[in-house]
Structure 1
Amino acid sequence: MRLTSLLDTIGLGGSGPWPPVTSGTDDFDDLVAGLIPCRSHDPELWFAERTSEVEQAKALCRDCPLIQGCLAGALEREEPWGVWGGEVFVAGQVVAVKRGRGRPRKDATPAA
Structure 2
Amino acid sequence: MLLDTLNQGGSGPWPTPTPAATEADTFDQLVATLIPCREYDAELWFAESTVDVELAKSLCQECPLREGCLAGAVDRQEPWGVWGGEVFVGGVVVPRKRGRGRPRKDQSAPAA
Q: TM (normalized to structure 1)? A: 0.74
Runs of 4+ in 1 over 3 A off after TM superposition: none
Between the two proteins, the alignment pairs up a number of residues equal to 95
Specify the SS of the correspondent of 1:83: strand
Residue identity (%): 66
Root mean square deviation, CA, Å = 2.5
**Matching residue's letter, 1:31:** L
Unaligned runs of 5+ in 2: 6-20
Specify the SS of the correspondent of 2:33: helix
Task: Describe the superposition over 1:33-80 as per-residue Cα deviations: whole angstroms up to 9, x where unpaired.
Answer: 211000000100000011100000000000101100000010111101
In structure 1, distance between residues paired with 2:54 and 2:45: 9
* Structure 1 residue aligned with 2:78: 79
Structure whose CA Rg is larger: 1
Question: 1:96 aligned to 2:95?
Answer: yes
Matches within 5 A, 1:1-112: 2-3=1-2, 23=22, 25-107=24-106
Q: Alpha-carbon deviation of 1:28? A: 3.0
* 23 and 47 in structure 1: CA distance in 2 versus 1, 3 angstrom threshold: same
Task: Describe the superposition over 1:57-106 as per-residue Cα deviations: whole angstroms up to 9, x where unpaired.
Answer: 00000010110000001011110100000000001110001101121222
Q: Alpha-carbon deviation of 1:26? A: 3.0
Unaligned runs of 5+ in 1: 7-21
Q: TM (normalized to structure 2)? A: 0.74
